[in-house]
């Protein structure tokens, strides 16, 4: 099973700042990694797929990069609604796995 480790667990920033979230895989997942956003009481929403492709309707301030074992989700300028939880997910191997999540909180 591929283990995805997200860091940091919690990231404290202010609106307008740049956020950089990390996801590291225990073995290569090639470019087959997605990022999801989950707001309280809601289902997750797909943000990025195949490491760097924005899903339909996702604002341009969200971007993804990486390949192999190291991936990054960047939010260029934080909006108030961005302070929620983010998960990475790999699709390279069964079982599909998620990272444990990074909580973005207002500083």
Partner 1 sequence: EVHLLESGGTLVPPGGSLRLSCAASRFTFSSYAMTWVRQAPGKGLEWVSTISNSGGTTFYADSVQGRFTISRDNSKNTLHLQMNSLRADDTAVYYCAKGTIAARYFDFWGQGTLVTVSS
Q: Considering only CA atoms, which of 7, 19, 1 is closest in space to residue 88? A: 7
Nearer to partner 1, 44 or 68 (CB): 44
Least spacing, CB of residue 39 vs partner 1, in Å: 12
End-to-end CA distance of the chain: 35
Least spacing, CB of residue 6 vs partner 1, in Å: 9
Nearer to partner 1, 32 or 69 (CB): 32
Least spacing, CB of residue 33 vs partner 1, in Å: 9
Q: Considering only CA atoms, which of 57, 5, 96, 22 is closest in space to residue 47? A: 57
Residues that bind partner 1 (CB under 8 A): 1, 32, 34, 36, 38, 42-46, 49-50, 55-56, 87, 89, 91, 94-101
Least spacing, CB of residue 43 vs partner 1, in Å: 4
Query: What is the number of other CB atoms lying within 10 angstroms of the CB of residue 102?
Result: 22
Query: Does the CA dihedral 2-96-100-31 come out positive or negative?
Result: positive
Nearer to partner 1, 13 or 58 (CB): 58
């Amino acid at each position: 099973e591929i283990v995805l480790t997200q860091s940091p667990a919690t990231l404290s920033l202010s609106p307008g700042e740049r956020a950089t979230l990390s996801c590291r895989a225990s073995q290569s997942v090639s470019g087959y990694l997605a990022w999801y956003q989950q707001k309280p009481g809601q289902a997750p929403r797909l943000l990025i797929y195949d490491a760097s492709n924005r899903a339909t309707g996702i604002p341009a301030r969200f971007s993804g990069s990486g390949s192999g074992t190291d991936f990054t989700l960047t939010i260029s300028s934080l909006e108030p609604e961005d302070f929620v939880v983010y998960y990475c997910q790999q699709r390279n191997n069964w079982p599909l796995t998620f990272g444990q999540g990074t909580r973005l909180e207002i500083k």
